Structure 1
Amino acid sequence: MKKLTTFILLFIASSLGLVINAQDSTKIRELNEVVVSATRANEKTGMAFTNVYQKDIKKVNLGQDMPFLLNQLPSVVVSSDAGAGVGYTGIRIRGTDPTRINITLNGIPYNDSESQGTYWVNMPDFASSAQSIQVQRGVGTSTNGAGAFGASININTLGYEPNAYGETNFSVGSFNTLKTNILASTGLLKNQSESGSFVVDARLSKLTSDGYIDRASSDLKSFYVSGGYYGKNNFVRLNVFSGKEKTYQAWEGVPESLLKTNRTYNPYTYDNQVDDYQQDHYQLISSFKLNQHWTFNPTLHYTKGRGFYEQFRPDDKYSTYGLPDVVIGGQTIKRTDLVRRKWLDNDFYGGVYSFDYQSNKKFSANIGGGWNKYDGNHFGEIIWAKNASTSNIRYRWYESHSIKTDFNIYAKGYYQVNDALNFFADLQYRTVAYDMKGLGDKRQDITQKTDYKFFNPKFGVNYQLSKTSAVYASYAIGNKEPSRQDFVDNAPKAPLAETLRDLEVGYRTAGSKVSFDANFYYMDYNNQLVLTGQVNGVGEAIRVNVPESYRAGIELMASWKFAPKWALSGNATFSQNKIKNFSETIVNYDGDADKINKFSKTDISFSPNVIAGGQLSFSPIKNVELAWMSKYVSKQFMDNTGDDNRSLDAFFVNDLRANYTLKPKFLKEMTFSLLVNNIFNHLYESNGYTYSYIYDKQVTTENFYYPQAGTNFLLAVKIRL
């Protein structure tokens, strides 16, 4: 099989006048990294960050979504609607939700422009194409796209293999989870008549799961194709990738009354209560060395998204949809069962760039930025009704159109004063123009036009105490516009933009056997958008600006290789997360005034005071690794009142991972992997929501939770030709 694969690739290469290239692959690897380096932090920026490399990703990439692969990083809490890490998943870093975490793919913005969230379900198995991931905590360095208000995640897929290969991965696990992918690469190919090299990489993936929660199934497909040409100091690369997801909805959560008796409860029973969405990406990435000092890295991109989620709605009012009542035999019918779809159809396109300057060992700089435009349609259709009051089966009860333009420019510089002292400065100017026209899903007029201008300065200093130890500090300011839902929920009044001032001070040391990092942070917010306690017409939490709030904490990270076959690593975050003054609104359905409760120095929702993770790994023989992984998350409040009755209990979860690699003569590599999650079957919930209301003179609070799976497993085999 190995000989056959090699023969086929050599035949293709010879047909194109190509031979396997033997040029220095290190130079090409540097060209790939330069594209993302402009938006990444390093030891001299004075900021907190963690790098994750492909070899570490592969160990845990057995089928769960990207957030679960990052679960062991500092200050991270992850959750899954379906309970098993497949389908809709989320990640919080330092308590900040996904709408405040900036995500870039090869320096290109990925966050949804309107909601500013990241839907990992739209790019299933993308981790199999990732070469490296950097997670910055805090404001971080200037980047493209959504404002980083707690963290940023920078994913690089521009790696390559110098030699041709073919690979397949197959995983099977609990809840009928199945993952299959095929990866292949030509390796570096060189045209005999030219000095450049070519490479083509490809991946095809399919992932299905029934989910832990009843009927919370996922059917996910994706592909990734990348072709590149590499010259001596230049390259051009085209990436085309797509994700198609169809998931049965598990958004409602489990009511508190059923949590102990029916943890997998899902209120939805309609057969096609699904979310169905496809997203296609096109990236043209290049790098050109202009002279010995300057490198220019331009990138063009386009993303097409389209899809819907379908709902069965029992006994809905015709008037809700702007429809007349139905009269049958003299009887007026005001309500009907119906099926509706809420659609998204959007285009996102633009360009990002950077100029990298290197003069000497003392000074280096980046000048970059981007222009990106989002053009999106939202509309709702009734596709069936028990008693139709219109002959139009595709009746649209709302429709809106949004255009959002995002422009930014930044300049970053590093100055090495002497062998020990380095200064970093980063200045960014960003403008956002947002124009909404039309009706929202409650048929309310959401027409608004807003413009924002932000200046985001950042400064850092790094002092090298020795070859292995350093102290650092940074101060950064970040600004962020509200999301579409904030505009819709607060219409006609527009919410205010948010501002964050972030101070980071730390110490790091790294030796051959022991490493240790300590990072203190103080994140001071102005006009942060927080949950009010109210919900909108589809049950989503409504947010309001609060003048003053903060997050303060210390992050500790350590690793110790205490024996030739043993290694121990861990991290812990201890924090306080407070709103100085908060007003809770309880809606009154009796027609009287809403009730307002005032709180002082209350906890910010979903911000645990303690987050800790650790891993003990053991390699008893060559090519075998066993790892015990633990995660502890302290109590989290689901709103901002600090009420224990509206909280998530602390949880402590332990996983076991085993990897065994063989290299038989007929294959390059064969690896068997086993991941047992939640090995002690701890019952816990990592996410939820709460709301209160007044009805019949009584205050009622309803809590809903997202239970995570008990003991479950994934077993995988990788075959590499």
Structure 2
Amino acid sequence: MKLINKSMLSVVITLSTASVYYAQQVQDTVKTTSNDIEQVVLTGVADIAKDRKTPVAVSTIKEAQIVERLGNQEFPEILNTTPSIYATKGGGGFGDGRVNVRGFDMNNTAVMINGVPVNDMESGAVYWSNWAGLSDVTSAMQVQRGLGSSKLAIASIGGTINVLTRAADKKREGNVTVGLGNDGYLKTLFSYNTGKSANGWSTSFLMSRTAGAMYVDGTDFESYNYYFALGYQPNKKHDFQFTFTGAPQWHMQNYQSRISDYIKYGEDGEPNRRYNPNWGYLQGETYSQSVNFYSKPVASINWDWNISEKSKLSTVLYASWGRGGGTGFLGSINGNNINSAKLKNSDGLIRWDDIYAWNQGTAIADFTNAAGTAAPANPTPGIATRNNGLVRRSHINSHDWYGFLTNFQHKINSNWNFSAGLDGRYYYGYHPGVISGFLGNKEYRENSNLNAAPYYTVTQSYDPKPSANPFVKAIKDDSQIASRNFNGEVLWLGTFGQLEYSNDAISAFVQGSLSNQQFQRIDNWIVDGVTKQQNQVVNTKTGFKGIWGYNVKAGINYNINEQHNVFANMGYYSKQPNNYAVYPNNQQVLNSNLQNEKIASAELGYGFRSSAFRANVNLYYTTWKDRFQRVTNINIPTPTPSNPNNQTRAYANLLGVQEVHMGMEFEAFYKVTDYLEFNGMLSIGNWKYKNNPTGELFDDNNLPLTDVPNATSNSVQLALDGVKVADAAQTTAALGFTLKPVKNLSVFSTWRYADNLYGTFNIDQNFIINNGVIPKAAEKGALKMPSYNLFDLGLSYTFNLNNGNRLIVTGNVYNLLDTTYISDGKSSNHVKELGDFKDIKNGAGVVTSSAQQQYDAYINNPSNFYKGLDSSNQVFFGFGRTWAASISYRF
């Protein structure tokens, strides 16, 4: 869990075709325009553009599709039928889903709520568990692929996902919903909208609870969602909207495992897709080492002022108070950490009861040391330290965040429009640690706080669940902090402007922004002016480091006739690095090679519209230069007369890391009759690293290797040119239909295909070019995962009751054919070759096992392989067949 930040953004969105058709239950797709979106969502300062006008690639998911099809899936998975989107459930815990856009992860894709980015202000990450409740109040979910037409300098390298929620003045209606699903999933919801009164007041309210377990074992969860909106429109000049929403939740998590472990705990050679190595039973109750808990209430006040027929001012003030974190473990048992196989039973579950007993002094026979020769009892029963005894800790990631955005729009004449604005933010993140489970210990001794040497005692345990109070203090008791204690402070101020031109055939825009972002790191456990990090004296506060960034973008759309249009856009970003690049290795030392990331992108698009058929085709090319990348644990020869094999451990901050993402996207919608509709998409990407970056070497004391005697090198070059970008399928396709055989009944199905999915890999010393020789790691590159096909099936039926009331029943089956597939590759261990083995000799120098013998034993053992992959690879398997159903009473 990380902190989630928020800033306002004006966004221009073109309604595209393939996804819009799902709004048929609201109104006929062919008649859909941007106006119907404005009537059901809170737009605030967000600009909703019109089809065949704004030159950006966009897909829109409407409320009807979310209600019908989301069920118990992860919120971003609803986007999987749109081009260049790859969304998965990640580890399978509630809210742990992730999404990539054009091959860029969430750190480089802007996610916004009503035009407000929620990417973490320190790392840029997005955690969907904080926003899972948004599916209850979303009226539209829109994706701009590429740099888009947003006015601010945001992290939209891959694209922008904008979630638009209901407005307070949505039409008068109430809703009671009960949802069920596999593995005990239960959801209850109540909402009511008053509609707008004669004197301009309106309110909207929602409360829901979702609980149960996910498909993967040991993933219990509980989540609440509350939403309140108050609107007031005293006259046509002024419109005020206040919203307050939050989704407190806790959920158990799952980490990736080796394929061999999935098979080990499966049956008949098939992997156990439900296997989770993070949990077990403690005194008969489910207990997990990894629990995520968070509450992030968000409040905003929007004011739209129609100054005149030509001028409008939109302003929003907003605040966010994130509270929560995630658990892990401190300490060990006889040198074994919590993930050691010795601490697991025959089913792969953690032996919590035995750990509890060992902590209290009982000797456990098979809790042997690393050599496997002894299993001593705990020498300090009931007392845990970083090196002895096991306790569960929580790393807290709370924040206080405040901001404003004001946007002035002026219509110069019938063709020209101008807008400009300011964007300001203040963010303070709290990152202490606390104990969340002593497991039989009575105390934990913390020795990392240099202000309280040699140690102090922690005796208080905090339950890893969010507080019912959304404004609870981020740090409860400074004397009970354990594991870590640092803070982060971020300041942001930006300005932006846009000039637009439009007539009946042509629409164009040019825009730019300038921003200054300042970072400060605060370490509460060091001693001012005494503590050294990387050979430098440091203080508790680093002081602010300010960095300028900017972007410029332009685009043009030409409507050839009523059916055909073409568009083009291009842009350039100079993007500030995140906090963890400014202060790498989570220390107080400023990165000496700090530089902005440079992103350039160009796009061409074509659209076709008719009464029955719509289609879009896009071509894109994006370069991403000067990514921050640190390579550690590099061993550089520093021979001495007494030790010719001496080595010095070093690190390098690489310069010139570059990625190139190019591809083609196609989406279409075909309405055969009033009873049958088809939609489809195809996206083909080619995402690779480009060039071989270099980096100056430093030793662990932060001294350049030029200052280290006898160093054979003071810089390195890594072979990355041509290596595939990992973590998202570069080829995706989908084909779906909606059949309406009788009035009020919809039957729908979707086929999805994913290919060219590559496993992640570490950019490390294995990629270093030595004497011009390209290493094997670079030659082999990222590991390609098997392709897969999935089918989903669902239906929805509406019963019309008296007085306009309705009863809506939905049902969905996901992965209908129960296909076994790898959704996420988390390593790139290629099948071994003969050259990967070495002769083994005994102490007398006699060869006891030749490389050929080892290779033959490896290659002839079927358990070493799975669908052509080395079974040592770490992966996530996708869920098997799951289901969800709901019944809603609308009144």
TM-score bracket, normalised by the shorter chain, equals: 0.7 to 0.9
> Conserved in 1, the CA contact under 8 Å of 2:114 and 2:163?
yes
**CA shift in 2, pair 1:435/1:595, >3 Å:** closer
SS in structure 2 opposite 1:690? coil
**CA shift in 2, pair 1:290/1:527, >3 Å:** same
Q: 2:216 matched to 1:213?
A: yes
Counterpart code for 1:268: N
* Unaligned stretches of 5+ residues in structure 2: 1-34, 267-271, 281-286, 338-377, 446-455, 460-479, 527-531, 635-651, 696-711, 762-777, 831-835, 841-850, 852-869
> Conserved in 2, the CA contact under 8 Å of 1:220 and 1:245?
yes
Give the whole-Å Cα distance in 1 for the aligned partners of 2:716 and 2:597.
26
Give the whole-Å Cα distance in 1 for the aligned partners of 2:497 and 2:875.
44
Aligned positions of 1:309-348 closer than 5 A = 309-313=326-330, 315=332, 335-348=388-401
> Conserved in 2, the CA contact under 8 Å of 1:39 and 1:107?
no
- Tell which deviates more after alignment, 369-378 or 332-341: 332-341
**CA shift in 2, pair 1:601/1:182, >3 Å:** same
Aligned positions of 1:14-25 closer than 5 A = none
Give the whole-Å Cα distance in 2 for the aligned partners of 1:177 and 1:27.
33
Give the whole-Å Cα distance in 1 for the aligned partners of 2:305 and 2:313.
5
Q: Deviations over 1:187-217 (max 9, x none)?
A: 11123xxxxx111001101111311221012
SS in structure 2 opposite 1:600? coil
* Aligned sequence identity (%): 19
**CA shift in 2, pair 1:533/1:50, >3 Å:** farther
Shift of 1:676: 0.6
Give the whole-Å Cα distance in 2 for the aligned partners of 1:152 and 1:642.
34
Counterpart code for 1:428: S
SS in structure 1 opposite 2:64? helix
Give the whole-Å Cα distance in 2 for the aligned partners of 1:48 and 1:28.
18
TM-score under structure 1 length normalisation: 0.85
Give the whole-Å Cα distance in 1 for the aligned partners of 2:247 and 2:181.
22
- Partner residue, 2:279: 269
> Conserved in 2, the CA contact under 8 Å of 1:108 and 1:144?
no
- Partner residue, 1:553: 663
Give the whole-Å Cα distance in 2 for the aligned partners of 1:642 and 1:619.
52
Aligned positions of 1:1-400 closer than 5 A = 29=38, 35-38=44-47, 43-83=52-92, 86-144=94-152, 146-160=154-168, 163-191=171-199, 197-230=200-233, 231-250=235-254, 252-260=255-263, 261=266, 262-269=272-279, 271=287, 273=289, 274-313=291-330, 315=332, 335-382=388-435, 384=438, 386=441, 388-389=444-445, 390-393=456-459, 394-400=480-486
- Partner residue, 2:822: 685
Give the whole-Å Cα distance in 1 for the aligned partners of 2:687 and 2:579.
26
- Partner residue, 2:683: 573
Counterpart code for 2:585: D
Question: Equivalent of 2:741, from 604, 620, 624?
Answer: 620
Give the whole-Å Cα distance in 2 for the aligned partners of 1:562 and 1:682.
30
SS in structure 2 opposite 1:683? coil
> Conserved in 1, the CA contact under 8 Å of 2:170 and 2:193?
no
Give the whole-Å Cα distance in 2 for the aligned partners of 1:105 and 1:552.
28
Q: Deviations over 1:456-510 (max 9, x none)?
A: 0001111110023211101111233333444433864635331110101011111
SS in structure 2 opposite 1:471? strand
Higher-Rg member (1/2): 2
Counterpart code for 2:517: V
- Partner residue, 1:609: 730
- Partner residue, 1:512: 611
Shift of 1:46: 1.6
Give the whole-Å Cα distance in 2 for the aligned partners of 1:44 and 1:717.
39
Shift of 1:153: 1.2
Give the whole-Å Cα distance in 2 for the aligned partners of 1:604 and 1:420.
39
Shift of 1:368: 2.5
- Partner residue, 2:474: none
Counterpart code for 2:619: F
Give the whole-Å Cα distance in 1 for the aligned partners of 2:36 and 2:326.
47
- Partner residue, 1:588: none
Give the whole-Å Cα distance in 1 for the aligned partners of 2:812 and 2:887.
12
- Partner residue, 2:701: none
SS in structure 1 opposite 2:296? strand
**CA shift in 2, pair 1:584/1:246, >3 Å:** farther
Q: 2:761 matched to 1:636?
A: no
Shift of 1:550: 0.6
Q: Deviations over 1:160-193 (max 9, x none)?
A: 56543210111101121111111101111123xx
Counterpart code for 2:70: N
Give the whole-Å Cα distance in 2 for the aligned partners of 1:520 and 1:104.
25
SS in structure 1 opposite 2:397? strand
Number of equivalences:
670
Give the whole-Å Cα distance in 2 for the aligned partners of 1:533 and 1:601.
22
Counterpart code for 2:882: N
- Tell which deviates more after alignment, 488-497 or 265-274: 488-497
Give the whole-Å Cα distance in 1 for the aligned partners of 2:58 and 2:186.
33
Aligned positions of 1:476-495 closer than 5 A = 476-486=571-581, 487-489=583-585, 492=589, 494=591, 495=594
Shift of 1:388: 4.2
Shift of 1:59: 2.0
Shift of 1:597: 6.3
**CA shift in 2, pair 1:332/1:264, >3 Å:** closer
Shift of 1:341: 1.7
- Tell which deviates more after alignment, 227-236 or 240-249: 227-236
Is the strand fraction higher in 1 or 2?
1
Give the whole-Å Cα distance in 1 for the aligned partners of 2:334 and 2:828.
24
